[in-house]
Structure 1
Amino acid sequence: MPTYTATRPLDGDADQYLDYVSRPENLPAYFPRMTEAHQLPDGKVETTARVDADRDGRDETVTSEAEFDVDRAAREISWSAPGPHDYHGSLRITDDGVELTIHTTHDVDGMQHALDDALQTIATNLREQA
């Protein structure tokens, strides 16, 4: 099972960072393949994304539900989506930096670049909000 990890220094207030990334509606702002995300009444998150889910070389629109857990004390968000890809991940904030990790059952072209870009975009969005 491939694991992808991206890290970067924390460019601001850790609590502000956690507040931003813990809101599901912000997911499309830093994961560009995601087009929609919203919290469901049961606490899960429904997401819509343009991805090559069937690995045929063409992107398709995929909507799925995922667990989305926020642990404010640990400054960590974790998520998981049931299904054949065993997709799950976490975003952890420390006083020094941010770590974004994704696990899936197969290699995904461009995943490392996407994670690096996501962390850069989050930092940029937070600076613009300040």
Structure 2
Amino acid sequence: MADHEASTTVDVAANVLFDYLSDIEHLPDYLPWLTDVHRAAPRPAEAQGMEARRPQQPVHEEVEVTAHVPAGGEPDQTVHSEAWIDIVEENRSLRWGAPGEQDYHGELDIDFVADGTSRLTVRLHTTHTPDQDIDDYLHHALETIKATVEQPPTTPGDTPQA
């Protein structure tokens, strides 16, 4: 089993960063190995807003993903999988996982640092032995998120701004 964690400071307000990251349509923007993500079921009623659920109740989304997975020197494999994402607005956190024998799951937390600045922390748990490649992918994802959200949008609505 292996646990991985990485953090970065992002020059975007915590609520703006959370709004961007909690939209599953944006996943392929900052996780380039994901080629497709879509809901496997209609959005749940709890997704209508905090007033539609109990405090700390997550919005649970079932999703289907397609990814290119490195195959250790071989050509990348295309993998289709079911997964889930829990979104907890009050904590500005996301939890996700994929069913199966791999026991893959993770969480993402966004903390307020100062006006227009956030701390983004991602944790992953896998049944694989510790692997530097996983740490490298995690740092790459954080760098991509930071670069994506900190750049000014080219057209209105492209990326968040603080």
Q: TM-score with structure 2 length normalisation? A: 0.73
| Contact preservation (8 Å) 1:87, 1:102 | yes
Cα deviations across residues 61-108 of structure 1 (Å, max 9, x unaligned)? 111111101000011000010111111001101113110111110034
For 1:85, what is the secondary structure of its paired residue?
coil
Q: Which residue in the other structure is 1:102 paired with? A: 124
| Contact preservation (8 Å) 1:10, 1:95 | no
Aligned pairs (5 A) from 1:1-130? 1-41=1-41, 43-52=61-70, 57-58=73-74, 59-96=76-113, 97-107=119-129, 108-128=131-151, 129=159, 130=161
Q: For residue 71 of structure 1, what is the amino acid of its counterpart?
A: V
1:56, CA displacement in angstroms? 6.2
Cα deviations across residues 35-72 of structure 1 (Å, max 9, x unaligned)? 111122253011100114xx665321111111101000
| Contact preservation (8 Å) 2:86, 2:95 | yes
Alpha-carbon RMSD across the aligned residues, in angstroms, is 1.6
Cα deviations across residues 12-47 of structure 1 (Å, max 9, x unaligned)? 111111111111111111112111111222530111
For 1:110, what is the secondary structure of its paired residue?
helix
1:10, CA displacement in angstroms? 3.0
4+ runs of 1 displaced by more than 4 Å? Answer: none
Q: For residue 105 of structure 1, what is the amino acid of its counterpart?
A: T
Which stretches in structure 1 are left out of the alignment for 5+ residues? none
Identity of aligned residues (%): 37
Structure 1 residues 62 and 74, CA gap change in structure 2 (3 angstroms) = same
Which stretches in structure 2 are left out of the alignment for 5+ residues? 43-60, 114-118, 152-158
Aligned length: 128
